[in-house]
Amino acid sequence: MFCVQCEQTTRNVKGVAGCSFNNGKCGKTGEVSDLQDMLVHLLQAVSTYAVAARKVGIVDAEIDAYVPQAFFSTLTNVNFDAERIIDFSRRAEGYRNQLKARYAAACAEQGITPETLPAAAHYQLPDAKVVMLSDALQFRFNLQKAEVGEDVIGLRLLSLYGLKGAAAYMEHARVLGQTDAEVAGKFHEIMAWLATNPTDVGQLFQCSMDIGQLNYRIMQMLDKGETDTFGHPEPTRVNTQPIKGQAILVSGHDYHDLELILQQTEGRGINVYTHGEMLPAHAYPAFKKYKHLVGNYGTAWQNQQSEFAAFPGSIVMTSNCIIDPKVGDYTARIFTRSIVGWPGVTHLADNDFTPVIEAALAQPGFTADAEPVYTTTGFARNALMGAAPAVIEQVKAGNIKHFFLIGGCDGIRDERSYYTEMAQAVPKDSLILTLACGKFRFNTLEFGDINGIPRLLDIGQCNDAYSAIQLALALADAFECGVNDLPLSLVLSWFEQKAIVILLTLLSLGIKDIRVGPTAPGFLTPNLVGILNQQFGLKLIGSVEEDLKDMLAA
């Protein structure tokens, strides 16, 4: 195996080695990793045919939806089940064959000579897993390192991993009814182009910016899907402590699944809790009507093995991030949905959550109410825009002097305490905006307010970076300056590919001087990090004191 896509990738004394041998740091086996490389190869073949097919008028919405969905299964901490990855590959091969035949027929009908597509687009999936695994060796993404150099490999991976993040958001948007044939066409073009193993550094760099721009459109679609379906989030206080009674915990990013679970548990005497990135659900009007949605339990993904073990009910993983449930011995009461998979864990392929309800009822539940501890969420686009005039007034009066966006993913490294320390160290006349799961390190601390405006404003999930961008644009408009001229500092934490694509989106919008940590992405060479620093002022986090001085002086 070779995998270097996430922040916890294997490092040695010489630097980043990437995960190799038999197991990744995340628990992904070498077998699953190689099969995922094969799946990506097949999905690129589908996209190659989808691009050709579009030129003769064939656009297939089902295939357009499938490719990003299956690609999503290869993100960090999403699917660890070899058999499911093989199933995704078989279906991909079926779609490729279908497109191939339809393309040939359309060319014949229109009197067009079919394009000669690269050999990779014709790959035949073998029957036996052992042959798949030996084939997969030729699909590793660092194979040509000696030939093309590590910067080219790094830029290819920046695009591939960024596109994985965009694919995940496409799937989240699709679940809420938001699809766009043009976006899908652009996605296929990039997939197909990356399959040609490009070597031009300028073109590769431009590709990563194109992915950033594409993802901006996708986040806009997702925002529309969420707000059209569930209403606009309103600032909402959420209890983070247990309530007496039987319980279901819903994790991941998929609000549609949460809604189904709430509908199917209504009147059953079961309390439903959000976990991790599901927290902002409490702020949507559509969810407020469910009285049995009682609170948020647990913190960020990396703590799930102890937190789920202690949860006396059943658990549903609607999307990333799952880690080994055997460690906490809760395999029998955790369930996966959609692209998520773990061998031996029950996967719910349809919308019937009866097994989850039965598993919850078989558990003791919480025996008493705990003393409530609250956090507040729901400062997404609409609420921020509503608050903007008051914020602008306070800025003009000199009471708010700086904005910090402390956003991104959490993870295991001790260095991540930087983000808590930063939130605590920023001057009292500044506002802190948060999004994604990194906030769980400090979102129950008391930050107070500035003349009624809370100093800590949680925007929502990682994809709600879209709302943060809208606020920045509105402030820039109000102060008649560019976003880079605002007293706004972005301090991001990354873990996996969704964070990579959000970073690409911010860079593609021309946003400069972003700080990112806890480490540089392992697939970027020091040379590439240097180029990003030169072009965008992108910096790695350092000490809280020095970074703060620098940000406030800017």
CB of 463 to ligand SF3, least distance (A): 7
Q: Which of 28, 217, 416, 539 binds ligand SF4 (CB under 6 A)?
A: 28
Q: How far apart are CA 245 and CA 370, in angstroms?
A: 12
Two structure tokens written together for 432 = 């802190």
Residue 270 is classified by DSSP as E
Task: Pick out residues in 55-94 that bind ligand SF4 (CB under 6 A).
Answer: 76
- Site for ligand SF3 contains 7 (CB under 6 A): no
Count of chain residues binding ligand SF4 (CB under 6 A): 13
- Site for ligand SF4 contains 25 (CB under 6 A): yes
- Site for ligand SF3 contains 402 (CB under 6 A): no
Residue 238 near residue 377, CB atoms below 8 Å? yes
CB-count burial class (<10 Å; 0-12, 13-18, 19+) for 109:
exposed
Q: Which of 155, 409, 459, 506 binds ligand SF3 (CB under 6 A)?
A: 409
Asked if the peptide bond before residue 487 counts as cis, ω within 30 degrees of 0, the response is no
- Site for ligand SF3 contains 171 (CB under 6 A): no
Two structure tokens written together for 198 = 């490009």
Part of the chain binding ligand SF4 (CB under 6 A), chosen from 1-9, 220-228, 329-337, 402-410: 1-9
Instruction: Report which residue's Cβ sits closest to ligand SF4.
Output: 24
Part of the chain binding ligand SF4 (CB under 6 A), chosen from 18-26, 288-296, 413-421, 467-475: 18-26
- Site for ligand SF3 contains 436 (CB under 6 A): yes
Q: Which is nearer to ligand SF3, 302 or 430 (CB)?
A: 302
Task: Pick out residues in 298-317 that bind ligand SF3 (CB under 6 A).
Answer: 301
CB of 172 to ligand SF3, least distance (A): 10
Q: Which of 69, 74, 274, 320 binds ligand SF3 (CB under 6 A)?
A: 320
Two structure tokens written together for 166 = 């965009």
- Site for ligand SF4 contains 136 (CB under 6 A): no
- Site for ligand SF4 contains 3 (CB under 6 A): yes
Q: How far apart are CA 304 and CA 144, in angstroms?
A: 38
Q: Which of 498, 506, 522, 551 binds ligand SF3 (CB under 6 A)?
A: 498
CA angle centred on 491, ends 8 and 511, rounded to 5°: 110
- Site for ligand SF4 contains 498 (CB under 6 A): no
Residue 281 near residue 306, CB atoms below 8 Å? no
Q: Which is nearer to ligand SF3, 320 or 420 (CB)?
A: 320
CB of 256 to ligand SF3, least distance (A): 16
Part of the chain binding ligand SF3 (CB under 6 A), chosen from 52-60, 240-248, 386-394, 491-499: 491-499
Residue 426 near residue 288, CB atoms below 8 Å? no
Residue 129 one-letter amino acid: K
Report the partner that residue 284 touches, choosing among ligand SF4, ligand SF3, none (CB closer than 5 to 8 A by kind).
none
356-377: burial string, b at 16+ Cβ within 10 Å, e else: bbebbeebebbeeeeeeeebbb
Instruction: Give the H or E element holding residue 357.
Output: helix 354-361
Q: Which is nearer to ligand SF4, 157 or 293 (CB)?
A: 157
Residue 437 is classified by DSSP as G
- Site for ligand SF4 contains 489 (CB under 6 A): no
Q: Which residues pair with 460 in a beta bridge?
A: 435
- Site for ligand SF4 contains 320 (CB under 6 A): no
- Site for ligand SF4 contains 302 (CB under 6 A): no
- Please state the φ and ψ torsions of residue 508, each to the nearest 5 degrees: -70, -20
Listing from the earlier edge strand, what are the strands of the sheet with 334-337? 293-296, 270-274, 246-251, 314-317, 334-337, 346-348
Report the partner that residue 5 touches, choosing among ligand SF3, ligand SF4, none (CB closer than 5 to 8 A by kind).
ligand SF4
Residue 75 near residue 498, CB atoms below 8 Å? yes
Report the partner that residue 277 touches, choosing among ligand SF3, ligand SF4, none (CB closer than 5 to 8 A by kind).
ligand SF3
Task: Pick out residues in 445-464 that bind ligand SF3 (CB under 6 A).
Answer: 461-462
- Site for ligand SF3 contains 493 (CB under 6 A): no
Q: How far apart are CA 76 and CA 494, in angstroms?
A: 12
SS (H, E, C) 220-263: HHHHHHHHHHHCCCCCEEEECCCCCEEEEEEECCCHHHHHHHHH
Report the partner that residue 465 touches, choosing among ligand SF3, ligand SF4, none (CB closer than 5 to 8 A by kind).
none
Part of the chain binding ligand SF3 (CB under 6 A), chosen from 126-134, 233-241, 259-267, 490-498: 490-498
- Please state the φ and ψ torsions of residue 92, each to the nearest 5 degrees: -60, -45
Q: List contacts with ligand SF3 (CB under 6 A).
A: 277, 301, 320-321, 409-410, 436-437, 461-462, 495-496, 498
Q: List contacts with ligand SF4 (CB under 6 A).
A: 3-6, 8-9, 19, 24-26, 28, 33, 76
